[in-house]
Amino acid sequence: MQERDLDQVAALEQEIFSEPWSRQGFADSYQKKENCYLVVEEDGQVLAYCGLWSVLDEADICNVAVRKEARRRGVAEAMLKMLILEGKKLGVAAFTLEVRIGNTPAVALYRKLGFRDAGVRPGFYTKPDEDALIMWYRPGSE
């Protein structure tokens, strides 16, 4: 992710999420050395983005978003595989994320990538209210 991507990322965030991050939130986050944010672009348009925040050897994957017309094309899978590789370069040995329990396509993708269910955060999401499934991936422990 670069400065030039922020307007498109923030606009896509507004379209997809019920409690979206601001442009400034992304600007503050993507520049931190312990974080990594990626975008997928096609013809100058941001199709997808994701990020991770690392602390020591663990990382929280956040802001996974794919433009509706780009879904079911393998974009998210390729992007997340790259994010994990970049995380490993930062020294990350374990990755976690939360996902809406009802987001079955995302849950299936994460499981395909090796993430395993680790618990539930009741009422984690709002607008609409929904529990979050906590998932972890530890490369090499598959």
pLDDT in tens, 54-71: 999 999 999 999 999 999
Class of the CATH-defined domain 3-137: alpha beta
pLDDT in tens, 5-46: 999 999 999 999 988 999 999 999 999 999 999 999 999 999
The predicted pLDDT at position 127 comes to: 86
pLDDT in tens, 80-96: 999 999 999 999 999 99
Active site residues: 98, 110
Burial of 129 (0-12, 13-18, 19+ CB in 10 A): exposed
pLDDT score of 141 more than 90? no
The predicted pLDDT at position 120 comes to: 97
Query: In sequence order, what are the residues at sequence separation of 6 or more whose Cβ sits closer than 8 angstroms to the Cβ of residue 4?
Result: none
Per-residue pLDDT, averaged over 99-127, amounts to 95
The predicted pLDDT at position 142 comes to: 61
From CA 106, how far away is CA 91, in angstroms rounded? 25
Cβ atoms of 95 and 141 closer than 8 Å: no
What pLDDT band is residue 50 in, cutting at 50, 70 and 90?
very high
From CA 52, how far away is CA 35, in angstroms rounded? 6
